[in-house]
Structure 1
Amino acid sequence: MAGNFFRVRCPDCDNEQVVFGKASTTVNCAVCGTTLATPTGGDATFSGEVLETVEQRA
């Protein structure tokens, strides 16, 4: 099971956080608590802006 890590910017406070692309739980911003990623059973849906792929796995 491979997955990628992404740097996501929070839409509310501009905090940047690394999130796993196949997150199985809701990921909240560590600063303000806004939801950054929502699980969908496969790839997570991101609420913030994806800035870059931090680590790509095949």
Structure 2
Amino acid sequence: MKELIRMPKSKFLKVVCPKCKNKQIVISKASTYVRCTVCNAELVNPKGGNAHIKGKIIAVFG
């Protein structure tokens, strides 16, 4: 059966900051740089399709 509504390929990720251990939710296909809200460290780099995640992924949503 043909899929009528396409499901998104991106997922929300709960990431731990490597510097301050703050937990933050980011998107897996981020198109902009994402920084930690506490220490301003870089968490996500955009890399064409999928983003490069610099922190540890502890949960995946979606």
TM-score by length of 2: 0.84
Q: Which has the higher contact order (CA 8 A, sep 6+)?
A: 1
Which of 22, 29, 48 is 1:41 aligned to? 48
Structure 1 segments of 4 or more deviating over 6 A? none
Larger Rg: 2
Instruction: Answer 1 or 2: which has greater strand percent.
Output: 1
String of CA shifts for 1:3-52, please: whole Å, max 9, x gaps.
10000000000000000000000000000000000000111001110001
- Say whether 1:15 aligns with 2:31: no
TM-score by length of 1: 0.90
Q: Distance in 2 between matches of 1:20 and 1:11?
A: 17
Which of 3, 7, 23 is 2:10 aligned to? 3
What's the secondary structure of 2:19's corresponding residue? Answer: coil
RMSD over aligned CA atoms reads 0.8
Q: CA deviation at 1:2?
A: 2.7
What's the secondary structure of 1:32's corresponding residue? Answer: coil
Question: What number of residue pairs does the alignment pair up?
Answer: 55
